[in-house]
Amino acid sequence: MNLIKMASNENPYGPSPRAVAAMRAVLAECNFYPDNDATELQARLAKLYQVQPEQVVVAAGLTALLETIARTLLLPGLNAITSERSFIVYPIATRAAGGQLIEVPMHDNGFDLDAIAAAIDRYTRIVFLANPNNPTGSMVPAHEVDRFLQKIPAHVMVVLDEAYYDFAQHFAGLRGVDYSHSLDYVRHNHNVVVLRTFSKTHGLAGVRVGYGVGPAEFISSLAHMRTIFSVSVLAQAAAMAAIEDEAHIRQTIENNAAQAEVLVRAMSDLGYHVAPTWANFLYCELRGDAPSVARRMQAAGVAILPLGAYGAPTAIRVTIGTPEQNEIFVNAFRKVMAHATVR
Ligand X SMILES: Cc1ncc(COP(=O)(O)O)c(C=O)c1O
Give Rg (Cα) of the chain: 20
Among 79, 134, 182, 236, binds ligand X (CB under 6 A): 134
Torsion angle of C-alpha atoms 136, 59, 95, 153, degrees rounded to 10: -80
Provide the minimum distance between the beta carbon of 66 and ligand X in the complex, in angstroms, as a whole number. Answer: 7
Provide the minimum distance between the beta carbon of 322 and ligand X in the complex, in angstroms, as a whole number. Answer: 19
d(Cα 115, Cα 107) in Å, to the nearest integer? 9
The site map against ligand X for 156-185 (x = CB under 6 A) is -----x-x----------------------
Map 265-292 to HEC letters.
HHHHHCCCEECCCCCCEEEEECCCCHHH
Closest CB to ligand X among residues 96, 300: 96
Among 96, 205, 340, 342, binds ligand X (CB under 6 A): 205
Provide the minimum distance between the beta carbon of 1 and ligand X in the complex, in angstroms, as a whole number. Answer: 25
> Do 125 and 78 meet the contact criterion of CB atoms below 8 Å apart?
yes
Cβ-proximal residues to 251 (8 Å cutoff; 6+ apart), any chain = 13
Among the listed residues 92, 106, 156, the one whose alpha carbon sits nearest the alpha carbon of residue 135? 106
By CB under 6 A, residue 130 contacts ligand X: yes
Q: Mapping DSSP to helix (H, G, I), strand (E, B) and coil, where does residue 147 land?
A: helix
d(Cα 112, Cα 115) in Å, to the nearest integer? 5
The secondary structure element, H or E, covering residue 193 is strand 192-197
Closest CB to ligand X among residues 164, 329: 164
The site map against ligand X for 47-86 (x = CB under 6 A) is --------------xxx-----------------------
Among 19, 74, 87, 274, binds ligand X (CB under 6 A): 87
Provide the minimum distance between the beta carbon of 59 and ligand X in the complex, in angstroms, as a whole number. Answer: 8
Provide the minimum distance between the beta carbon of 340 and ligand X in the complex, in angstroms, as a whole number. Answer: 27
Provide the minimum distance between the beta carbon of 134 and ligand X in the complex, in angstroms, as a whole number. Answer: 3
Q: Convert 67-101 to b/e letters by CB count within 10 Å (16 or more is b).
A: bbbbbbbbeeebbbbbbebbbebbbebbeebebbb
Closest CB to ligand X among residues 59, 297: 59
Closest CB to ligand X among residues 14, 153: 14
Which residues bind to ligand X, rule: CB under 6 A? Answer: 9, 61-63, 87, 130, 134, 161, 163, 197, 199, 205, 210
